[in-house]
Structure 1
Amino acid sequence: MLTRFHNNRADLPLWSYEIVGAEGKRLGVARHGYDRLPGNLGTLAAPYYRCDREKVINHTGGCVNDRAHRVFEMSDSGNPEFAEVTRHIKSALDPSINKYTSPPLRPGHDWSKPEYPPSKIWDGREQPKTIPGNWNVASSPPLHKRPEGTSSFNRNFFSNLEMNIDVGTANPMRWSKSPSTNYCKYYFRDQYGKDENNEGMPWAGRGPRSNKVECDEYPFASTYQGAAGSGRGTGHYSIRAVSGGHNDMHGRVLKAFYDKYHVATHHAFWVSVVP
């Protein structure tokens, strides 16, 4: 934590590092300021808190217990206002069925060139995806929050880009780069209306957001595990065309979770889908 004493800036650790016994077992965390290892860990051991001054949604700065896991819970039946998004995430997290999610993961595809999406035509080479963040699976690694305002780093790997579709087939298409161009319009064409632009790309709908079809993604674009991966793309993610109203409401609830539990840059969290 960065603090100020008489106009002098200095680092002030709220807690010292872990106390580890001779056998390597974690015994606790001692309060900062002790000049010796505490003789009675039962009374002196304390939680480990991490503090920062980062702005998360509506609040700037905060302290969190770094030993406590933060889990974003969604109910398959209890949150009807964004049920389409919940069902999508549930499918993405299930390795027994997520090879059927879009875009399909196939060996040999170059994910660093998102302007060439893999064909939606099933050819039997589709592979299960390794998608993180599942609290209900002990071995599943967490998601990590990206800095505020950088979600486009992930979204640009499946939207707002030029798309060269079904290259090498009898019916190739090219969709120009625009804010409305995205993978969902290719993989989920039937979910959109009949109206198309002069390149054959369907429109998302007219009127309020609730009347439109939007492209949902998991892992969330607000995390380092999103579609961009480390920057060269990764096939281990999922998109699905969902109701704009459901997508909007889910986004609001996720932001509220970040805000309430101070999920700041690089902070870890999981998701859990319950009945």
Structure 2
Amino acid sequence: MNCTIKPTIFLYHPAWWNSDNPKVPLWAKAEIERVPTGRDLLVPTVRCDSRPMGPYKGTNPVVYHGACIFMGANRVYTMYRSDQYRGEVAQHIWDAFHDNKDTRPPKYDDFGVQVKKEVPGNYDAPLRLADGKPNPASRPLTRITDDDVAADGFKRRGKNKYWTEMGCKIWFPGWVDQGKQCDEFPFRSTREGPGDGEYVNLKWILYNNASVRPVTTSHNSMAGRDLWLFYARYRVNRTSKFWVSVKDQPPR
């Protein structure tokens, strides 16, 4: 079930008076997000749904059975490198954002020269580069589900899972014996994950704008649980856009 809240008021202020239509909507369409400065300028839409969401599957209970969000608000998942329970994952994402030529797998141009990856989802990145062009790092991530299928007919989450594990096997042999889990960024639950690419001449060509790395199992598990809680609280459903912000430590 979904609903949208769109209240109205009857406005009789002299500056905005309209005897033919004193009725003023307080909420706009989702694509119109503006702070009102007069009766003709509208404010954001509130969207509500009753979808059960949370980090649990099977017979375990979900955490949220519905919520309301402001459609125009940016949804940002924040992590901290100093976090003693999730810090390894936060550091991995930080490196993917800032030092990604040292992350694996490397990216090469058509001449075999290693180049910097264009890892998206960085909420703290400037919107534009020095030359004025849009900054690829500031592009949002897009949530996917098990129902999302790529142009070659294979599921996107499956591609992300395959290339995450393949990357760790190639670049970090022995990681399973070390009791670690293979972490990926962008997340497996996003379109931009390690399996993202395009279908060209009956071949799937990877964009290779992602990073994989073995991390301590407990860090990966806690970070994964928190991500699904973030999805539930901020109603990040299929096709929803969101960003990630990695800080050194929480504010005091």
TM-score, normalised with respect to structure 1: 0.61
Give matches, 1:122-161, under 5 Å.
125-139=113-127, 140-147=138-145, 151-159=157-165
Secondary structure of the equivalent of 1:158?
Answer: helix
Distance 1:42 1:107 in 2: 53
What SS does the aligned partner of 2:221 have? helix
Aligned partner of 2:77 among 72, 77, 91 = 72
The alignment's C-alpha RMSD in Å is: 3.1
Does 2:240 correspond to 1:267?
A: yes
Shift of residue 13, structure 1, vs aligned partner: 5.4
Matched, 1:93 2:60: no
CA change 1:136–1:44 in 2 (3 A) is closer
Deviation at 1:130, TM superposition (A): 0.3
Q: Which runs of 4+ in 1 moved over 6 A?
A: none
Q: Which amino acid in 1 is paired with 2:84?
A: P
Provide the rounded CA distance (Å) in 1 between the counterparts of 2:114 and 2:219: 29
1:104 aligns with 2:106: yes
CA distance in 1, matches of 2:187, 2:110: 25
Match of 1:5 in 2: none
2:169: which partner in 1? Answer: 185
Residue aligning to 1:120: none
* Structure 1: gaps of 5 or more residues: 3-11, 17-27, 33-38, 110-123, 160-181, 193-202, 206-210
- Please say which structure displays the higher CA radius of gyration: 1
Superposition pairs for residues 1-275 of structure 1, below 5 Å?
A: 14-15=5-6, 30-31=26-27, 41=38, 45-57=42-54, 58=62, 59-77=64-82, 79-94=83-98, 97-108=99-110, 125-139=113-127, 140-147=138-145, 151-159=157-165, 182-189=166-173, 192=174, 204-205=176-177, 212-230=179-197, 232=204, 233-275=206-248
- Aligned-pair identity (%): 32
Which residues of structure 2 form unaligned runs of 5+? 8-23, 29-35, 55-61, 128-137, 149-156, 199-203
- Partner SS state of residue 169, structure 2: helix
Q: Secondary structure of the residue that 1:81 maps to in structure 2?
A: coil
2: CA distance between counterparts of 1:45 and 1:158? 44
Letter aligned with residue 106 of structure 1: Y
Identify if the C-alpha distance between structure 1 residues 13 and 152 changes in structure 2 by more than 3 Å, giving closer, same or farther: same
Look up the SS of the partner of 2:164 in the other structure. coil
Work out the CA distance in 2 between the residues paired with 1:91 and 1:218. 10
Name the amino acid aligned to 2:186. P
Cα 1:30–1:100 change in 2 (3 A) is same
